[in-house]
Structure 1
Amino acid sequence: MRWTLKPTPKVEHIKDFANQLKVPEKVALLLLQRGIDTYEKAKTFFRPSLDDLHDPFLMKDMDRAVARVNLAMQQGENILVYGDYDVDGTTSVALMSSYLLSHYPQVATYIPDRYTEGYGVSYAGIDYAHDNDITLIIALDCGVKAVEKVAYAKKLGIDFIICDHHRPGPELPDAAAVLDPKREDCTYPYDELCGCGVGFKLIQALEQQKGLPVKTLVPYLDLVATAIGADIVPITGENRVLAFFGLDVINTLPRTGIQALIENVKKEILTITDVVFIIAPRINAAGRIKHGLHAVELLTEQNKEQAQQMAAAIEAFNAERKDLDKTITEEALEQIQQNREEHRKTTVVYQENWHKGVIGIVASRLTETYYRPTLVFTKSGEKLAASARSVKGFDVYEALEACSEHIEQFGGHKYAAGLTLGEHQYDDFKSKFEEVVSNSIDERLLIPEISIDAELNLEDITPKFYRILRQFAPFGPGNMTPVFMSKNLIDTGYGKCVGADELHLKCTVTQPGTTVQIGAIGFNLGEKCDLITHKKRFKAAYSLDLNEWNGNVSIQLKLRDIQE
């Protein structure tokens, strides 16, 4: 593990800002590191307001999109709401279809089949629309590159409104409207929305046109917050406002389907992390194991008993997903060891019967083990399909581009991508990918990094400091949970390994010259137990959270790593 300390602003700058905001200097330091350098920015950060949301009509084509939806309703057209089978896609479809249905009856939904249609707009989906006399498709979280498919739909008399957040290709589809803040010609002030966020802007525009305020749409924000968490978009600007109010809905009055999913969770208040690790995997499991429509049906169901039955079915899909993921990960690790590939710069594994729905999760697990760009392949029809995952700082999409002669099709982002190729191309691709990565990756990126915001003395960790820190939430890319470092720590003598197989480390730490003692827990740090014994001094990287035990609540260090 390599520790890197983030750059620290000038001391006088920190002091001035701390005085201005009346906060501890360490808080001022964290704010400045996040680009929050004025009183106004701090106010917006700590007190998100729906008034901070931008006017939806600033988005290119929004006026056209609103006009086309209104025309469809006036003319009694059938509308199809179309989206992908992942969390961003299914929440988007639930959001748009439930909003439209509250105003207009002729609305249907469509989620492509992961295995027969794959990601994005499909010809099968367009044919379904044509067979059902649908003349308007609203595509969410996909479609910005579907130039041929939108042209095909147009020949059949079907219009498209596209709500996407992916980078467009050189040519935009010939749609009634293309809403995508990443369009070159779109001057919308914030371009990091997820697909569900772009869908939300469209319903905000439809409400605004009727003279209604955005607060009428707050009940939909549980869906938007779930998509923001699951799609790992930056929690800055507009996303921060949407996530903040969406979490409030999840914790106070969630829709029936989300309530059914979280009913058995033993937590008072869910954070964005809980959304990512509790709600999102279950919504995703439907599309991975069965069909994404199950997730949309749950998220739009209003009957409590019905929703509970659906949630139970999804719970079963999720249990199956976990079993598959565990088995395939074990098989993949075995394959790496058998082929003696531990010393490569990449991980590329393949087995034809691995379940296509979980290879992305397996790729993430392998990245955790070997910490290098990773691809997991399986057989999909006549082709091989793979999920790619990367390590922090390395663009796997660019690396795949450099291997494109051995790939039939690929798409994705810097850290996650998908691709297909012919079976005959596999070996050449594997060699080329290793060569490209070996020649371009900085060796340091192959060692996991802990990025540290600031050094603290244990005396700095006061209830006031922690109370302010909690108001930095919701956390996520662009606003990560602060990580601190403290030196010269000594265990008070009760440090031990705990848990099954003694995998975890538990201790109470202090520093020379202070009476402060703070509890600490380090998950999967059991092997470092000897570093803290016999009053040895050590340093720790950690975040802060609360420990609740027997009715007592105290601040504890959540250890990320310890070193001599």
Structure 2
Amino acid sequence: MRWTIEPKPKTKKIEALQKALQVDTITATLLVKRGIETYEAAKRFFRPSYSDLHDPFLMKDMDKATARIEKAISNNENILVYGDYDVDGTTSVALMSSYLKTIHPNIATYIPDRYDEGYGVSYKGIDFANDNGFSLIITLDCGIKAIEKVAYAKEQGVDFIICDHHRPGNEIPEAVAVLDPKREDCDYPYKELCGCGVGFKLIQALASKEGKTAEDLTSYLDLVATAIGADIVPIDGENRALAYFGLQVVNTNPRPGIKAILDQVKKTEFTITDVVFIVAPRINAAGRMKHGNYAVTLLTETDNNLAVKYAAEINNYNLDRRETDKRITEEALKQIEEQKEQERFTTVVYHETWHKGVIGIVASRLIETYYRPTLVFTMSGDKLAASARSVKGFDVYNALEACSDHIEQFGGHKYAAGLTLKKENYEAFKQAFEDVVSKTIDSDLLTPEIKIDDKIDLKDITPKFYRILKQFAPFGPSNMTPIFVTENLTDTGYGKCVGADKTHLRLTVTQPESSSNFVGIGFGMGDKIDVISNGKPFNAAYSIDENEWQGNVSLQLKLRDIKV
């Protein structure tokens, strides 16, 4: 791993903030590195407020969207809420449909079948709307590239309101309204909302017409926080406020569906990381293994007993998903080994029987081993479908765009995308993708990087320091968990490999002239045991967290890497 210590901000800025906040130098440094340089900025960071949320009508077409929904309600029209089958899509549909049902009875939901219809707006979905008397479709987390489909719907007399956060193409669909902060002609102040966040802005706008504020919509924010965490969007600006208040709902009064999932694990307080690793995989598993409708049903259920039943079903889908992605990952790794190709800058694998619902997870697993921009293909109908995942710092969406001559359809983000192509174009595409990546990627990006916030000593780690550090949460892109380096550590003699298969490292570290000892745990770092044995000094990169054991809570180092 590459250790990159973030450049130290100007001393004057650190000293000024330290004085204004009455905090230590390390805390002030962490804040300045996050762009927080004044007392007021720090107050907004540590104490988010509903006033941090922008006026939803600053988003282009918001006035048109609310006017069309109000017209639909006054004309007693049927409204279809349509969303993608992943976490962002299903939480968005749950949010929008449950809110609209409080003001209008004629609301239904539609999630496309991952295997029959694929990602985004489908002709089948439009036909369903037309056949069943829906004159308005509101899309969430999809639709920004559905040019032909929106035009087709228009011919059928079905209107569209699009709520999306993906990058638009050269053309915007001719919908009644297109809400997407990434539109070049949209002046909305915050560009990094997830799909559920855009949906929240729409219900905020609708509620404001009735004299309600964003705070009156707090009960919907457990859904928004879940989507923010799962979709890996930056947790700064407006997203930070939405995630902050959403986590309060998750921990105090979550909707029955989310509570039923959380009750499956023994934990009392949940962070955004818990939402990502506990709630999100289960919601995702419905769309991957069965159908996204199951997730929407769970997330909109108001009866606690039924929610527990649905959550148990979804948990079973998640267990199936785990087994399937483990098997396919093993097959993909074997395929890469057998290819024994020359040094490549990309990983591209294909098997026609691989489960389409887990190829994105498999792509992420392959990156853990080979750390290259990765594509995993399977057969989907008469085409090949792939999930793309990238390494930190490399825009895989742009790379796919450069290969678009070989692709039928693609969409996504900088680090995750999906595409389809004709089977006969697979080899040509594979070579084109390799060529583009090899010519454009900085070779340093092919080695995993640990970004280190600061160099500290063990004596700096105090309960007071950790209490302040905890308030930096929720963590995520643009506000990652602080990583520190401490040099010249030694193990006190208790270092050992732990876990059922002895793959984890547990040690107790000390430092010369320090009276402090800390337990360190390194998951998957059992092979580093030789680095710390026989009292050899070493450096460690780590974050700080709490360990609870038999009622005792103590600070520990969560090791990220160690070096001689």
Q: TM-score if structure 2 supplies the norm length?
A: 0.99
Conserved? CA contact 2:375–2:388, under 8 Å: yes
Pairwise CA distance, 1:431: 2.1
The answer to whether 1:560 aligns with 2:563 is: no
Pairwise CA distance, 1:428: 1.9
* CA distance in 2: counterparts of 1:212 and 1:435, whole angstroms: 54
Q: Deviations over 1:341-397 (max 9, x none)?
A: 483221111111000000000000000100001111111111111111111111112
Query: Which moves more between the two structures, 422-431 or 363-372?
Result: 422-431
Q: Deviations over 1:481-512 (max 9, x none)?
A: 00000001011111111112221111111111
The answer to whether 1:430 aligns with 2:430 is: yes
- Aligned match of 2:40: 40
SS at match of 2:494: coil
Q: How does 1:469-488 map to 2 (within 5 A)?
A: 469-488=469-488
The answer to whether 1:357 aligns with 2:388 is: no
The answer to whether 1:207 aligns with 2:207 is: yes
Query: Which moves more between the two structures, 291-300 or 422-431?
Result: 422-431
Pairwise CA distance, 1:177: 1.2
Pairwise CA distance, 1:61: 1.2
- Aligned match of 2:191: 191
- Aligned match of 1:59: 59
Conserved? CA contact 1:336–1:342, under 8 Å: no
- Aligned match of 2:345: 345
SS at match of 2:534: coil
* CA distance in 2: counterparts of 1:182 and 1:328, whole angstroms: 35
Pairwise CA distance, 1:70: 0.9
The answer to whether 1:439 aligns with 2:439 is: yes
Letter in 1 for 2:130: H
- When residues 206 and 232 of structure 1 are mapped into structure 2, their CA distance, relative to the original with a 3 A threshold, is same
Q: How does 1:256-405 map to 2 (within 5 A)?
A: 256-341=256-341, 343-405=343-405
- Aligned match of 1:12: 12
* CA distance in 1: counterparts of 2:73 and 2:395, whole angstroms: 44
Conserved? CA contact 1:50–1:214, under 8 Å: yes
* CA distance in 1: counterparts of 2:181 and 2:248, whole angstroms: 26
SS at match of 2:535: coil
Query: Which moves more between the two structures, 475-484 or 154-163?
Result: 154-163
Q: Deviations over 1:287-308 (max 9, x none)?
A: 0011101100000011112111
- Aligned match of 1:80: 80
* CA distance in 2: counterparts of 1:195 and 1:396, whole angstroms: 20
Q: TM-score if structure 1 supplies the norm length?
A: 0.99
Letter in 1 for 2:538: F
Conserved? CA contact 2:541–2:559, under 8 Å: yes
- Tell me how many residue pairs correspond in the alignment: 564
Conserved? CA contact 2:167–2:412, under 8 Å: no
SS at match of 1:509: strand
* CA distance in 1: counterparts of 2:354 and 2:182, whole angstroms: 35
Query: Which moves more between the two structures, 342-351 or 230-239?
Result: 342-351
- Aligned match of 1:507: 507
The answer to whether 1:413 aligns with 2:378 is: no
- When residues 107 and 58 of structure 1 are mapped into structure 2, their CA distance, relative to the original with a 3 A threshold, is same
Q: Deviations over 1:406-438 (max 9, x none)?
A: 222222211111111111111222222222222
* CA distance in 1: counterparts of 2:484 and 2:341, whole angstroms: 35
Letter in 1 for 2:326: K
Pairwise CA distance, 1:524: 0.9
Query: Which moves more between the two structures, 395-404 or 288-297?
Result: 395-404
- Aligned match of 2:456: 456
* CA distance in 2: counterparts of 1:432 and 1:384, whole angstroms: 16
- Aligned match of 2:92: 92
Conserved? CA contact 2:325–2:361, under 8 Å: yes
Letter in 2 for 1:132: N
SS at match of 2:410: strand
* CA distance in 2: counterparts of 1:550 and 1:260, whole angstroms: 26
Conserved? CA contact 1:541–1:559, under 8 Å: yes
Q: Deviations over 1:535-563 (max 9, x none)?
A: 11100000000011121111110000000
* CA distance in 2: counterparts of 1:542 and 1:35, whole angstroms: 22
* CA distance in 2: counterparts of 1:515 and 1:249, whole angstroms: 41
* CA distance in 1: counterparts of 2:546 and 2:343, whole angstroms: 40
Q: Deviations over 1:291-346 (max 9, x none)?
A: 10110000001111211111111011111100100000000001111111483221
Conserved? CA contact 1:342–1:370, under 8 Å: no
* CA distance in 2: counterparts of 1:288 and 1:176, whole angstroms: 31
Q: Deviations over 1:178-216 (max 9, x none)?
A: 111111121111111111111111111111111112221
Query: Which moves more between the two structures, 53-62 or 216-225?
Result: 53-62
SS at match of 1:554: strand
Equivalent pairs: percent with the same residue?
Answer: 68
Pairwise CA distance, 1:39: 0.9
Letter in 1 for 2:91: T
Conserved? CA contact 1:136–1:158, under 8 Å: yes
* CA distance in 2: counterparts of 1:296 and 1:322, whole angstroms: 21
Q: Deviations over 1:435-460 (max 9, x none)?
A: 22222222111111101000011111
Conserved? CA contact 2:167–2:413, under 8 Å: no
Query: Which moves more between the two structures, 183-192 or 218-227?
Result: 183-192
Q: How does 1:206-225 map to 2 (within 5 A)?
A: 206-225=206-225
- Aligned match of 1:166: 166
Letter in 2 for 1:186: C
Conserved? CA contact 2:144–2:162, under 8 Å: yes
The answer to whether 1:176 aligns with 2:191 is: no
Q: Cα RMSD (Å) of the superposition?
A: 1.1
Letter in 1 for 2:399: A
* CA distance in 2: counterparts of 1:16 and 1:469, whole angstroms: 19
Letter in 1 for 2:369: T
* CA distance in 2: counterparts of 1:501 and 1:318, whole angstroms: 23
Conserved? CA contact 2:13–2:37, under 8 Å: no
The unaligned stretches of length 5 or more in structure 2 are none
Conserved? CA contact 2:542–2:558, under 8 Å: yes
* CA distance in 1: counterparts of 2:196 and 2:397, whole angstroms: 23
Conserved? CA contact 1:505–1:523, under 8 Å: yes
Q: Deviations over 1:23-72 (max 9, x none)?
A: 11100000000001111110000001112111111111111111111111
Pairwise CA distance, 1:109: 0.5
SS at match of 1:532: helix
SS at match of 2:233: coil
* CA distance in 1: counterparts of 2:168 and 2:441, whole angstroms: 27
